[in-house]
């Protein structure tokens, strides 16, 4: 008996990276997984690897299409009890160079998409009696990073949306969120292509490396499981210690103390 046997899970952005790893992880625990992505072929490819999964092409920005996909899921597979809002996009450029189109893309995918799925799924999650939502935010939503203003703002709002959901829908539904740091996925391909650029960042991460999609999926799976039965409204940081206060200054401090110790 697996801990998610008989549960139906809806995972957005499931064609790639953390979403694909999460779909695989939840399926391994026995869930029937609806792998949702704007990239329908990619969603189907991930679903086809799994014993009990379907791939669905869906743009989470389209509220009507999201509602229809959630209703279809319930009609086909039965009551929905797990939602992972993972679909997201990033971009790096200074705030004053961001045009309306890019602003709306970053806000609409990362924030409105999360809202659209929560709105459509919550009545079903309540009806299931043991509903769970895990949203994928970012450490950028807690401490904004340079050149990611709309992304950081959207992710901060996802953290607030998570808390609102937990307040309004407990005890039937738990709502939590993960805040990953630097994770090896197509989203961070720039750092992987130019490892020298990443090297100073790597040295500032207490665990000294980028994270893996599976390592975030593991935390998401925990939050989805009954093992997290008394956890709601929380943001779990999965960043190798990157966002510890002053982690980035540690190398300089180590050099300073080395000089002191030499007298
Ligand atoms: N990789 C990191 O370092 C990192 C760090 C912090 C947060 N995150 C967050 O994790 C989540 C997953 O990112 P990832 O690194 O796996 O990236 P990824 O690019 O590998 O996967 C993102 C997926 O979302 C899908 N998607 C994009 N727009 C969509 C839309 N409008 N509708 C439906 N699907 C859409 C993409 O097609 C893709 O399959 C994102 O929300 C991202 O912001 C990632």
- Of 39-48, 190-199, 200-209, least confident by mean pLDDT is 190-199
In a domain, 250, yes or no: no
**What are the structure tokens assigned to 16, written together?**
């790639």
The range of the structural domain enclosing residue 218 comes to 8-196+208-245
In a domain, 59, yes or no: yes
How many Å lie between the centroid of ligand 1 and the Cα of residue 237? 17
How many Å lie between the centroid of ligand 1 and the Cα of residue 88? 4
Q: What is the mean pLDDT of the chain?
A: 95
Residue 86 Cβ contacting ligand 1 at under 6 Å: yes
Separation of alpha carbons 125 and 54, rounded Å: 19
pLDDT tier at 1 (50, 70, 90 boundaries)?
A: confident
Q: What is the structure's pLDDT at 248?
A: 79
How many Å lie between the centroid of ligand 1 and the Cα of residue 63? 18
Residue 263 has pLDDT above 80, yes or no: no
Residue 11 Cβ contacting ligand 1 at under 6 Å: no
In a domain, 31, yes or no: yes
* Alpha-carbon dihedral 109, 114, 116, 118, rounded to 10 degrees: 170
In a domain, 260, yes or no: no
In a domain, 254, yes or no: no
Separation of alpha carbons 132 and 82, rounded Å: 5
In a domain, 36, yes or no: yes
User: Which residues participate in catalysis according to the annotation?
Assistant: 151
Going by their DSSP bridges, the two strands 235-238 and 173-180 should be labelled as: parallel
In a domain, 78, yes or no: yes
More confident residue, 198 or 82: 82
Residue 188 Cβ contacting ligand 1 at under 6 Å: yes
Q: What is the CATH number of the domain that holds 71?
A: 3.40.50.720
Average the pLDDT over 22-45 and give the result: 98
DSSP annotation of 175 reads: E
Q: What is the structure's pLDDT at 139?
A: 98
Number of Cβ within a 10 Å radius of residue 193: 9
Cβ atoms of 35 and 43 closer than 8 Å:
yes
Question: Max alpha carbon distance in the chain (Å)?
Answer: 73
Interior/surface letters 129-140, b for 16+ CB within 10 angstroms, e for the rest: eebbbbbbbbbb
How many Å lie between the centroid of ligand 1 and the Cα of residue 181? 13
In a domain, 125, yes or no: yes
Average the pLDDT over 174-183 and give the result: 98
Taking only the tens place, the pLDDT of each residue in 137-149 is: 999 999 998 999 9
Residue 13 Cβ contacting ligand 1 at under 6 Å: yes
Residue 89 Cβ contacting ligand 1 at under 6 Å: yes
Taking only the tens place, the pLDDT of each residue in 125-135 is: 999 999 999 99
Question: Which ligand 1 atom is nearest residue 210's CA?
Answer: 3
Separation of alpha carbons 43 and 257, rounded Å: 51
Residue 161 Cβ contacting ligand 1 at under 6 Å: no
Residue 108 Cβ contacting ligand 1 at under 6 Å: no
Count of domains observed in the chain? 1
pLDDT tier at 193 (50, 70, 90 boundaries)?
A: confident
Pocket test for ligand 1, best of 20, 22, 42, 87 (most atoms within 8 A of CB): 87
Average the pLDDT over 233-253 and give the result: 90
Strands (DSSP E) contained in 107-215 are 131-136, 173-180, 183-184, 211-212
Pocket test for ligand 1, best of 88, 109, 156, 180 (most atoms within 8 A of CB): 88
């Amino acid at each position: 008996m697996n801990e998610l046997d008989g549960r139906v899970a809806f995972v957005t952005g499931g064609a790639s990276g953390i979403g694909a790893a999460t779909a695989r992880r939840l399926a391994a625990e026995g869930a029937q997984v609806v792998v949702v992505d704007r990239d329908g072929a990619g969603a189907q490819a991930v679903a086809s690897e799994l014993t009990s999964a379907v791939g669905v092409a869906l743009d989470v920005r389209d509220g009507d299409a999201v509602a229809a996909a959630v209703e279809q899921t319930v009609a086909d597979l039965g009551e929905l009890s797990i939602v992972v809002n993972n679909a997201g996009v990033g971009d790096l450029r200074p705030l004053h160079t961001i045009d309306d189109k890019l602003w709306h893309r970053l806000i609409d995918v990362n924030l409105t998409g999360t809202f659209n799925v929560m709105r459509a799924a919550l009545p079903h999650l309540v009806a299931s009696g043991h509903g769970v939502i895990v949203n994928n935010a970012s450490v950028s939503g807690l401490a904004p990073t340079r050149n990611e203003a709309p992304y950081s703002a959207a992710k901060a709002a996802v953290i607030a949306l998570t808390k609102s959901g937990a307040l309004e829908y407990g005890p039937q539904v738990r709502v939590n969120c993960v805040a990953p740091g630097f994770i090896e996925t197509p989203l961070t391909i720039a750092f992987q292509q130019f490892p020298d650029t990443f090297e100073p960042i790597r040295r500032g991460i207490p665990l000294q490396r980028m994270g893996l999609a599976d390592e975030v999926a593991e935390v998401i799976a925990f939050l989805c499981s009954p093992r997290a039965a008394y956890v709601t409204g929380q943001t779990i940081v999965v960043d190798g210690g990157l966002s510890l206060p002053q982690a980035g200054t540690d190398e300089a401090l180590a050099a300073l103390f080395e000089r002191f110790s030499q007298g």
